[in-house]
Amino acid sequence: MKAKAWRSLLMSMMGGWAIASTVVAGPGSPDQETGQSFVDLRAFEAALTHEGHRMGPVSSGNLEGFGQVSVVVVKGSVDSQAQQIVVLAEEAGGLRIAAQTPFADSSDVDTSLRVERGSLFVQLEGLKGVWGTYQFKRQTDGTFRLIGIRLHRAEDSGEPDHDIKSVVDTDFNVVTGMMRFKRVGDTRPLTARVHGAACYFQQFDFDYYTCAKGMKTDDGKAADVLMNAP
């Protein structure tokens, strides 16, 4: 179910649980409408269950610009591969939906979360030979921006022994566009600088190359290609 429809149903369903509040929104966010508040995490989970959704991993901590939060992976029905991430900020009397990604299909991708150093780190793992960590931080202008990506990508021979042909480890400062690589079996440069539009939490789609697909070097090399094994 689309996030917008899900939120509308929550408001009508939760009755006394839900009260109007403002969703933190940034450029390109999926919606800029009121969110919901819940008495506690159990009330939030009850709302999900009513709609056939499931609550996945939860991480709590102090998120800069939001205060104390619980960040939740929301999964679709048992037959669905869709998931989203919801940031629930503590407020007097309960929890408020402060920011959320859209639901996105993410088959065979396991998502885990951690809140530390004022940032949200989203870890994706699932495909053989690839895993990534995505750092989001609240900016002074109020937006919740993707600021860093660390991606590991390995390519094997495809033979029964699965010998590794090449490995690319990327450390990508998304704000400055600076990319640093560790490469094995790959003779391409170890640094690059790319340019492109800023990317925000409200756009996150659980793609390993999220944001990088829209960024290029001055000579036209795509950031996601540089991050991939040759």
Question: What confidence tens digit (pLDDT) does each residue in 9-60 have?
Answer: 444 333 333 322 233 333 333 332 336 889 999 999 998 888 888 999 999 9
Domain of residue 23: give its range.
3-227
Would you state the pLDDT for residue 78? 75
Which range has the worst mean pLDDT, 22-26, 104-108, 187-191? 22-26
Would you state the pLDDT for residue 14? 37
Q: 65-74, 78-87, 101-110: which has the highest mean pLDDT? A: 65-74
CA angle 139, 109, 185 (to 5 degrees): 90
Give how many domains the chain has, as a whole number: 1
Helices vs strands, H then E, count in the chain: 3, 15
pLDDT score of 180 more than 90: yes
Would you state the pLDDT for residue 76? 86
Mean pLDDT of the chain, nearest integer: 84
Q: Please choose, from the candidates 189, 17, 13, 177, the residue with its C-alpha nearest in 3D space to the C-alpha of residue 96.
A: 17
Would you state the pLDDT for residue 56? 93
pLDDT score of 221 more than 70: yes
pLDDT band at 230 (very low <50, low <70, confident <90, very high): confident
User: Which residues are CB-contacts of 40 (< 8 A; sequence separation ≥ 6)?
Assistant: 94, 95
pLDDT score of 101 more than 50: yes
Would you state the pLDDT for residue 158? 57
Q: Please choose, from the candidates 100, 115, 104, 153, the residue with its C-alpha nearest in 3D space to the C-alpha of residue 131.
A: 153
Would you state the pLDDT for residue 69? 97
Which range has the worst mean pLDDT, 44-53, 189-198, 209-218? 44-53
Q: Average pLDDT in the 68-85 region?
A: 90
Task: Considering only residues 151 and 155, tell me which one the structure prediction assigns the higher pLDDT.
Answer: 151
d(CA 165, CA 25): 43
Would you state the pLDDT for residue 34? 36
